[in-house]
C-alpha cells in the first residue's frame, strides 16, 4: 500500500458516531486520558470501519473511552473497508481471539465449583487440547481450561443445542471474566495463535483459558445492536497500521465543521510527508513500550 493512501484514510470522526463492541477497564481508560491530556495530542488512531453511518471500532476501545473522558468532540481514526479486509485473498482472515494465560496457583476444579452452578454445567475432560480448542471454536462448548497435567476442562451447559448461540456464548464468557476478576486471578491475554507455546514452555503459567472466537459478521452485528463482548474478545491484525500520528488535542476538541477539521488534519500529515518524516516499514515491527 502506498503511503499517500494510508494518510488519506486517517481522519477525524465524530465521537458520538463511534461504536465500541468490547468491555473496557476504567483505570486503563483514565490512564490513557491523562497521558493524552499531558501530551496534548492523540498519538495513535483508532481503527474503524464504516457501517450504517456509524464507525465500528476494530481496535482502540480504551482510546475511545479516554477521549470521552476528555469531552472530545471528535477522535482520530484510521478508516478501513471491512469487506476488503476480511476478503483479502493475499492473506488469511486476520481476525483472531485472545486466550488468557494464568500466572498464579490455580485449580480449574475449584474455580468452576466456586463460581458456577454445577447443577447446570456439563464438564467434559480431555487430554487433547487441540480437541478442546476445536470445540470452543465450533461453539460446542463455551470455553475450556487447560492445565499443565494434560487435562483440559471443556465447559458447556446441560440440555443445550450442539451449536451454541452467539448471545449465550457472550454471556458465559462475561460470567467467566467476572469470576476471574472477583477472584483477582492474575492473567495476561495472548493472541490465540500464540498462546500454546508460552503456556507449555514456561513454568510461570499454571493454566490457559481457551476463549471463543468471533466472526467479522458477529462483530458488526454486536456493535450495531449496542451490545458488548467481554474485554479482550477480538484481535484484528492490521497491516500497515499507522502509528504516532500525533494530532493536537486542540484540533480534535475544536468546534468547527468536520470537513474543515479534516482539511487541517490532512495538511499536517501531508506536510510531514513533504518533509520526509513519514516512513512505511514493510517488515513486522516489535514495539517494546507501547
Is the fold of 3-92+234-274 the same as that of 98-213? no
First CA to last CA distance, the chain: 24
pLDDT digits (tens, 9 = 90+) for 79-129: 999 887 766 655 444 789 999 999 999 999 999 999 999 999 999 999 999
Q: What is the DSSP letter of 102?
A: E
pLDDT digits (tens, 9 = 90+) for 64-82: 999 999 999 999 999 999 8
> Taking residues 33-53, what's their average pLDDT?
97
> For residue 57, what pLDDT band results from cuts at 50, 70 and 90?
very high
Query: How far from 129 is each of 25, 77, 84, 228, 272, CA to CA, in Å?
Result: 30, 39, 33, 28, 50
Residue 227, C-beta contacts closer than 8 angstroms, at least 6 positions apart: 21, 170
Domain spans, the chain: 3-92+234-274, 98-213
Helix 166-182, helix 108-115: angle, nearest 10 = 100
Query: How far from 54 is each of 62, 219, 231, 235, CA to CA, in Å?
Result: 18, 14, 21, 20
Q: What pTM was estimated for this model as a whole? A: 0.91
Give the pLDDT of residue 284.
Answer: 81
pLDDT digits (tens, 9 = 90+) for 2-32: 899 999 999 999 999 999 999 999 999 999 9
Query: May I ask the CATH architecture of the domain 98-213?
Result: 2-Layer Sandwich (3.30)
> Taking residues 217-231, what's their average pLDDT?
95
pLDDT digits (tens, 9 = 90+) for 136-185: 999 999 999 999 988 999 999 988 878 999 999 999 999 999 999 999 99
Select 3-92+234-274's CATH number: 3.20.20.10, 3.90.1530.10, 3.10.420.10, 1.10.1060.10: 3.90.1530.10
Give the pLDDT of residue 92.
Answer: 44
Residue pair 64/46 in contact (Cβ under 8 Å)? The answer is: yes
pLDDT digits (tens, 9 = 90+) for 243-275: 999 999 999 999 999 999 999 999 999 999 999
Amino acid at each position: 500500500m502506498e503511503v499517500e493512501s494510508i494518510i488519506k484514510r486517517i481522519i477525524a470522526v465524530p465521537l458520538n458516531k463511534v461504536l465500541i463492541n468490547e468491555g473496557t477497564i476504567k483505570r486503563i481508560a483514565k490512564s490513557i486520558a491523562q497521558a493524552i491530556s499531558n501530551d496534548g495530542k492523540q498519538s495513535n488512531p483508532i481503527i474503524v470501519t464504516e457501517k450504517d453511518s456509524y464507525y465500528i471500532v476494530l481496535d482502540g476501545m480504551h482510546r475511545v473511552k479516554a477521549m470521552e473522558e476528555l469531552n472530545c468532540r471528535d477522535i482520530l481514526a484510521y478508516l478501513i473497508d471491512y469487506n476488503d479486509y476480511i476478503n483479502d485473498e493475499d492473506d488469511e482472515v486476520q481476525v483472531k481471539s485472545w486466550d488468557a494465560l494464568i500466572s498464579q496457583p490455580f485449580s480449574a476444579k475449584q474455580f468452576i465449583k466456586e463460581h458456577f452452578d454445577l447443577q447446570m454445567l456439563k464438564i467434559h475432560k480431555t487430554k487433547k487440547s487441540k480437541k478442546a480448542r476445536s470445540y470452543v471454536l465450533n461453539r460446542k462448548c463455551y470455553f475450556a481450561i487447560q492445565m499443565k497435567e494434560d487435562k483440559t476442562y471443556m465447559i458447556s451447559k446441560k440440555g443445550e443445542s450442539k451449536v451454541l448461540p452467539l448471545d449465550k456464548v457472550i454471556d458465559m464468557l462475561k460470567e467467566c471474566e467476572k469470576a476471574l476478576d472477583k477472584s483477582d486471578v492474575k492473567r495476561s491475554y495472548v493472541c490465540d495463535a500464540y498462546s500454546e507455546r508460552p503456556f507449555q514452555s514456561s513454568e510461570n503459567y499454571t493454566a490457559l483459558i481457551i476463549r471463543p472466537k468471533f466472526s467479522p459478521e458477529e462483530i458488526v452485528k454486536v456493535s450495531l445492536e449496542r451490545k458488548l463482548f467481554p474485554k479482550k474478545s477480538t484481535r484484528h491484525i492490521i497491516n500497515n497500521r499507522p502509528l504516532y500520528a500525533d494530532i493536537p488535542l486542540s484540533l480534535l476538541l475544536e468546534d468547527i465543521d468536520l470537513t474543515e477539521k479534516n482539511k487541517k488534519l490532512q495538511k499536517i500529515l501531508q506536510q510531514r510527508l513533504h518533509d520526509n518524516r513519514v516512513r512505511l516499514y514493510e517488515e513486522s515491527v516489535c514495539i517494546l513500550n507501547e
